[in-house]
Amino acid sequence: MISTVCSNDWILGLHQSLLLLLIVGKWVLPRGGGVTRGELSQLLLIFVGTAADILEFTCETLSDVKASHPNLVYIILAVWTWSMLQFPLHLAVVNTNPRNDCEEGSQEVTMLSKHSTDLWTIVQALFIQDGPFLVVRLTVMIYFHVFHQMLCFFALKNFLVVILNLYRLVVLFQDSRAAVK
**Could you please report the per-residue DSSP string of 68-82?**
T-HHHHHHHHHHHHH
> Would you give the end-to-end CA distance of the chain in angstroms?
70
pTM above 0.95, yes or no: no
CA 28 to chain centre: 22
Q: What is the pLDDT of residues 55-87, one digit of tens each?
A: 888 887 877 777 778 888 888 889 999 999 888
Nearest to 64, CA basis, from 139, 5, 13: 139
Helix pair angle (149-180, 107-123), 10° resolution: 170
Q: What is the pLDDT of residues 171-180, one digit of tens each?
A: 998 988 887 7
Pick the residue with more confidence: 115 or 16? Answer: 16
User: Which of 8-22, 36-50, 110-124, 137-151 shows the lowest per-residue confidence on average (mean pLDDT)?
Assistant: 110-124
CA atoms lying within 13 Å on the CB side of residue 168: 17
Residue 111 has pLDDT above 50, yes or no: yes
Pick the residue with more confidence: 71 or 162? Answer: 162
